Amino acid sequence: MERKIQTPADLPDSLTRRLLERNRWRLHRVEYRASFFVRFPVAKGEPREGPADRAARANAERVAQALAGERGLFAHHVRQRARELIGAATMEDGTVELSDPPRLVPAYSDALFALPELGRTSGAVRTDWGWDIILWTGVLPARDITPDELALELFPELRQMYFVAWSRSIGKSTKVEVFPEAFDRALGMTAPAKEPR
């Protein structure tokens, strides 16, 4: 069967159409980015430009300035630099998994998607939780492909699905009988015959 099924065109059209329909979202996708942040939090209810906000901003700007222009950074570099400059007691950090812009707070999203390359950091950014320095850590590129290109990408999975369906159809059309005692005898697993009394 492997020699017979070499391209998506060799598979039943109904199978290909079904898998393509389930994976239609893969045809057109915006860019997704992953990130890491160091945050100097500002408590909810603290006024913007109040003393706590200004102190958090000063800390964030100091760290952002120290990282400006550096390339190839990883999360541990950013965290370590922030701790050296400010100390861990006044900061938080975390990661944000791959996301597109609408899933993020606008200020965070704007700063992250403005970064020119992986491993670079933003300036100090005011978010809903305080002042952040954002590091771009990962990307799922935007794409725009045709259904034929997607079928080629999904071909290994399509062929496997077809094999399972094909083997099941053969199993249903064939009568199989099992003789456990013959199997046991062949493996020498039968109990010795009992001696008559």
Give per-residue pLDDT as tens, 123-182: 999 999 999 999 999 999 999 999 889 888 888 888 887 777 777 777 777 776 777 777
Rounded-to-integer distance, Cα 57 and Cα 52, Å? 9
Q: Are residues 108 and 62 in the same domain?
A: yes
Q: Count of CB atoms within 10 A of residue 122's CB? A: 22
Domain that holds residue 18: 8-27+146-186
In a domain, 3, yes or no: no
- Give the pLDDT band of residue 197 (cuts 50, 70, 90): low
Task: Count the domains in the chain.
Answer: 2
In a domain, 100, yes or no: yes
Domain at 112, CATH number: 3.10.50.40
Q: Are residues 48 and 139 in the same domain?
A: yes
What is the per-residue DSSP string for 94-148? EEEEEE-GGGS-HHHHHHHHH-SSTT-B---EEETTEEEEEEEEEEE--EE--HH
Mean pLDDT within 109-120: 98
β strands within 9-62, DSSP E = 28-29, 32-41
The better pLDDT of the pair 96, 181 is held by 96
In a domain, 23, yes or no: yes
Render pLDDT for 39-83 as a digit per residue (tens, 0 to 9).
999 999 998 999 999 999 999 999 999 999 999 999 999 999 999
Q: Are residues 46 and 131 in the same domain?
A: yes
Q: Are residues 117 and 75 in the same domain?
A: yes
Q: Are residues 41 and 12 in the same domain?
A: no
Q: Are residues 58 and 128 in the same domain?
A: yes
The pLDDT value recorded for residue 76 is: 97
Q: Are residues 21 and 102 in the same domain?
A: no
- C-alpha 52, offset from chain centre: 36
Task: Please identify, among 109, 125, 143, the residue that sits at the C-terminal boundary of a domain.
Answer: 143
Which residues does residue 40 pair with via DSSP β-bridges, in sequence order?
131
When mean pLDDT is compared across 9-18, 66-75, 86-95, the lowest value belongs to 9-18
In a domain, 193, yes or no: no
Q: Are residues 82 and 132 in the same domain?
A: yes
Place of tokens 């391209």: 7
- Give the pLDDT band of residue 2 (cuts 50, 70, 90): low
Q: Are residues 49 and 97 in the same domain?
A: yes
- Give the pLDDT band of residue 7 (cuts 50, 70, 90): confident
The pLDDT value recorded for residue 156 is: 84
Name the residue type at position 67.
L
The pLDDT value recorded for residue 9 is: 81
The pLDDT value recorded for residue 193 is: 56
Q: Are residues 153 and 57 in the same domain?
A: no
Q: Are residues 135 and 38 in the same domain?
A: yes
pTM of this prediction? 0.68
Rounded-to-integer distance, Cα 11 and Cα 36, Å? 44
